[in-house]
Amino acid sequence: MTVKNHFPAGEAKSFDAGGGLTRKVGAYADNAMVVEVHFEQGTIAARHHHPHEQITYVISGRFEFTIGGDTYIVGPGDSLYKQPNIEHGATCLEAGTLLDVFTPHREDFL
């Protein structure tokens, strides 16, 4: 992969993932990726798992996250860590935006 150092917001394309969820990939390289995720109220991100480490930072809104067997209610400024292959999912309680960081990058998002 050719290294790119600047990812202008105006060049990023939003991807409608369905069910009230929209993603916009920001900067990425082989070992890391940042993704802006917009949720409409009531949107459910079904429980899933993947081999990537993931950190989620709540920019706005309120969410109920389940990670493994634990459930958390989170809002602006809160963050969450998901280790590789742990089952996790979320329900959007109040429309908002998350910032997800993955390592390595998610090939399926490109």
Cα distances from 30 to residues 1, 2, 7, 94, in angstroms, run 7, 9, 15, 33
Measured distance CA(70)–CA(77) in Å, rounded: 19
Beta-bridge mates of residue 1: none
- Predicted confidence pLDDT, tens digits, the chain (110 residues): 688 999 999 999 999 999 999 999 999 999 999 999 999 999 999 999 999 999 999 999 999 999 999 999 999 999 999 999 999 999 999 999 999 999 999 999 99
Confidence at residue 46, expressed as pLDDT on a 0 to 100 scale: 96
Q: Is residue 44 part of a domain?
A: yes
| Residue 48 falls inside a structural domain | yes
The answer to the question of residue 6 being in a domain is: no
In a domain, 8, yes or no: no
The answer to whether residue 37 sits within a structural domain is: yes
pLDDT on residue 2: 81
Residue 13 counted as domain residue:
no
In a domain, 5, yes or no: no
Residue 49: Cβ within 10 Å count: 14
| Confidence (pLDDT) at 49 | 98
* Residue 40: how many other CB atoms lie within 10 Å: 13
Task: Check residue 76 and give its pLDDT.
Answer: 98
Q: Quick one: pLDDT at residue 21?
A: 97
The total domain count for the chain is: 1
Q: For the chain, list the strands marked E by DSSP.
A: 14-18, 21-29, 32-39, 44-48, 53-67, 70-74, 79-82, 88-103
Range of the domain at 47: 22-109
The CATH number for 105's domain is: 2.60.120.10
Looking at residue 90, what is its pLDDT? 98
Give the per-residue pLDDT at 8.
96
Whether residue 7 lies inside any domain: the answer is no
